[in-house]
Structure 1
């Protein structure tokens, strides 16, 4: 019986490819684990730093207040509403941290978006017009200060997905995924390519939607 098992294993392994593939898989798992450890420690250092925590809380509070006041001002027109989001992202490729804040002013199924990203690490303007569909929301305008287009899917679900392309002279492509952890709080992953651009890399963090 033992001899048959050894023979089977040798046949499966062949020229060692199976062992090599297994080692590569384990190395990839270790790399991913190490990366998330770095991300967690980086986010922890930001969260435990009193000044950083105070700045984040102040930004979220002020952003939410602005949205609430605008909605109150527009309260007489039920066709107009304001939504916003703000958060913090860590780029594990370039070891940098930046904040973002955006507002959407809706009128029926169309909206204008104004905001900024990369706050604290080279702030860039977002200024876009879009239209909300049943399954896909399309928008165009300035993305990080460059002309671009974007599409948002599952915009009112726990899992949300966005695809963007911007800067026609030097195209960049961005995929953003969000998953709701608690009411209004989402874990966010953002992946910008090519990697060698100034904003290229893998971003992870928290987004607050209100």
Structure 2
């Protein structure tokens, strides 16, 4: 190879190398160029061609062109090859520093549901420009000036300044008094430390006594029922009062004819009258205590219609042979419906009225023989509901129960079967 050929070869190699460097530095690619996307903004605040595009802070492309359209400004974005932007992403315009280069920032959505197609158009969020910031700053300054003026008007008043000075002096005096009081309390505590210790010991002993007393009260309350023994003792006590009153009355009557002093006779008559009143009250108390009877019961029912269990409890209090009251809760733990009813008993029919399953209503209980009993409840005046119930005694205080709710509503009718136990 001659000299001219060598020089030409070196020159050609240099030109090829220079062209390759230019292509590399300019980002020119002979293959895939990436995916184009159009973003429409109301304003772009100086965005121009060549600015970078970032996705969650990572550079993924550049702005190819910025042009004005009727809707505002369209920025044509060229994404790097292989980059896909999820649908629902937010497009905003940011800047590197206060006066730095503008760029488009893409904020990904929380959930990805597909990706933007090539040449798809999206709408970006308008940036907060410097003009808007200046307007906001002017508004804030105006409000600050108004506040300062109001403070000047308040503090500039002679009366207000005098009041502030007086408050400061009072605060100083209060602080001095508190300091003196604290010192006095410290000296008092130091001088009477022994008494304080004794007081604390007495309080401790008192708390122990209170604890013992509370335990005794709890025991006494727990023993009040005593399987009916308390009621029996009460009846015996009232009976003893009645007997004593009768004896006192007889003694006073026997002395009445003997006493001749007027004052003594007067006292004797008052004693007789008080004795008769006490005797009458004792008779009434005996009648009431003797007629009160209670019966508690619990039941568990199951519905094959809803595949649910229902637990209930109630207490029936017979205040007389014909009067009674029922207190209970249906469906404990689920809806917990309250029952509170008053009623009267006849030969084979009981009549009830009051609260039935949280609603106002009435009920009738019919005794069909010695073991079978049927009940009918009608309640809730706003949306009438009818309940039919049957129970059959299979053992002492044990019953098989069948119940149908909402008998008058075919679509809401529900049946239950289970066991009831009385105590």
Q: Which runs of 5 or more structure 1 residues have no equivalent in the other structure? A: 1-64
Instruction: Name the counterpart of 2:343.
Output: 130
Task: Name which of 139, 144, 152 aligns with 2:365.
Answer: 152
Equivalent pairs counted in the alignment come to: 142
CA contact (8 A) 1:135 1:154 kept: yes
- 1:6-155 equivalent positions in 2, closer than 5 A: 73-75=230-232, 76=235, 77-108=289-320, 109-154=322-367
Task: String of CA shifts for 1:62-84, please: whole Å, max 9, x gaps.
Answer: xxx9xx76955544311111012
CA distance in structure 1 between the aligned counterparts of 2:358 and 2:328, rounded to whole angstroms: 10
Task: String of CA shifts for 1:101-158, please: whole Å, max 9, x gaps.
Answer: 1111111110111110111321100001001111100000001110010001118831
- 1:156-171 equivalent positions in 2, closer than 5 A: 157-171=370-384
Q: 1:155 to 1:172 in 2, by over 3 A?
A: same
Q: 1:74 to 1:154 in 2, by over 3 A?
A: farther
Q: 1:179 to 1:120 in 2, by over 3 A?
A: same
Instruction: Name the counterpart of 1:186.
Output: 399
CA distance in structure 2 between the aligned counterparts of 1:131 and 1:111, rounded to whole angstroms: 6
CA distance in structure 2 between the aligned counterparts of 1:122 and 1:85, rounded to whole angstroms: 19
Of Structure 1 and Structure 2, the greater helix share is in 2
Of Structure 1 and Structure 2, the greater strand share is in 1
CA distance in structure 2 between the aligned counterparts of 1:70 and 1:131, rounded to whole angstroms: 27
CA distance in structure 2 between the aligned counterparts of 1:79 and 1:209, rounded to whole angstroms: 19
Q: When the two structures are superposed, what TM-score results if normalisation uses the length of structure 1? A: 0.62
From the CA coordinates, give the structure whose radius of gyration is larger.
Answer: 2
Question: Following TM superposition, by how much is the alpha carbon of 1:201 offset from its aligned partner in structure 2, in angstroms?
Answer: 0.3
CA contact (8 A) 1:101 1:117 kept: yes
Instruction: Name the counterpart of 1:176.
Output: 389
Q: When the two structures are superposed, what TM-score results if normalisation uses the length of structure 2? A: 0.32
CA distance in structure 2 between the aligned counterparts of 1:156 and 1:78, rounded to whole angstroms: 27
Ranges of 4+ aligned residues in structure 1 off by more than 2 Å: 68-76, 194-197
CA distance in structure 2 between the aligned counterparts of 1:114 and 1:93, rounded to whole angstroms: 28
CA distance in structure 2 between the aligned counterparts of 1:134 and 1:70, rounded to whole angstroms: 30
Q: Which runs of 5 or more structure 2 residues have no equivalent in the other structure? A: 1-221, 236-288
CA contact (8 A) 1:105 1:112 kept: yes
Task: String of CA shifts for 1:34-82, please: whole Å, max 9, x gaps.
Answer: xxxxxxxxxxxxxxxxxxxxxxxxxxxxxxx9xx769555443111110
Question: Following TM superposition, by how much is the alpha carbon of 1:209 offset from its aligned partner in structure 2, in angstroms?
Answer: 1.8
RCO comparison, higher one (Cα < 8 Å, 6+)? 1
RMSD (CA atoms) = 2.2
